Structure 1
Amino acid sequence: MLKAITQDLWHVQHAFKIAGMPVSSRMTVVRLSDRSLWLHSPVPLSHEVRAQVDELGPVRYVIAPNKLHHLFAGPCLAAYPKAVLFGAPGLSSKRPDLRNMRELGGSAEPEWETDLDQVFFAGIPFGNETIWFHKPSRTLIVTDLCQWWQGDLSFGARAYAALTGVRTRLAVPRTIRLAVKDRQAARASAQRILDWPFVRVITAHNAIVEHDAHRAVEAAFSIFLRD
Structure 2
Amino acid sequence: MFTEWESNRVWYIDKSYRVCGLTHIQRMVVIKLENDELMVISPIELSTQCQLELSQLGAVKFVVSPTPTYHHHLSDWWLAYSKAYFFATHSLIEKRTDLNFDGVLSHQTPKEWQGQLLQTSIGGDESPNKMLFCDPLSRTLFITDNLVALQPHLPTGQKITTLIQGGRNQLTLPYRVRRKFKNKAMLRASVQEVMTWPFDRLISSNGLLIEKDAKDAFYQAFWWAFQ
TM-score by length of 1: 0.91
The match for 1:179 is 180
Q: CA deviation at 1:178?
A: 3.1
Is contact 1:199-1:214 (8 Å) kept?
yes
Counterpart CA distance in 1 for 2:128 and 2:224 is: 17
The match for 1:133 is 134
Is contact 2:106-2:127 (8 Å) kept?
no
Counterpart CA distance in 2 for 1:179 and 1:42 is: 27
- Sequence identity (%): 29
The match for 1:90 is 91
| Residue segments in structure 1 that go unaligned for 5+ positions in a row | none
Q: CA deviation at 1:176?
A: 2.3
Secondary structure of the corresponding residue to residue 92 of structure 1:
helix
The letter for the 2-side match of 1:142 is I
Secondary structure of the corresponding residue to residue 40 of structure 2:
strand
Is contact 1:165-1:173 (8 Å) kept?
yes
Q: CA deviation at 1:96?
A: 0.9
Secondary structure of the corresponding residue to residue 150 of structure 1:
coil
Q: CA deviation at 1:18?
A: 0.7
The match for 2:215 is 214
Q: CA deviation at 1:181?
A: 4.0
Is contact 1:27-1:43 (8 Å) kept?
yes
Which stretch shows the higher mean deviation, 149-158 or 186-195?
A: 149-158
The match for 2:103 is 102
Secondary structure of the corresponding residue to residue 171 of structure 2:
coil
The match for 1:3 is 3
Pick closer, same or farther for the CA change 1:71–1:135 going to 2, 3 Å. Answer: same
Q: Residues 133-192 of structure 1: CA distance to partner in whole angstroms, max 9, x if unpaired?
A: 111111100001223342255554332211223342222222322333433322221111
Counterpart CA distance in 2 for 1:182 and 1:67 is: 23
Counterpart CA distance in 2 for 1:168 and 1:114 is: 34
The match for 1:58 is 59
After TM superposition, the structure 1 = structure 2 runs for residues 14-93 of structure 1, keeping only pairs within 5 Å, are: 14-93=15-94
Q: CA deviation at 1:130?
A: 1.2
Q: CA deviation at 1:101?
A: 3.8
TM-score by length of 2: 0.91
Q: CA deviation at 1:39?
A: 0.5
Counterpart CA distance in 1 for 2:102 and 2:204 is: 24
Secondary structure of the corresponding residue to residue 69 of structure 1:
coil
Counterpart CA distance in 2 for 1:126 and 1:103 is: 9
Secondary structure of the corresponding residue to residue 34 of structure 1:
helix
Q: CA deviation at 1:20?
A: 1.1
| Residue segments in structure 2 that go unaligned for 5+ positions in a row | none
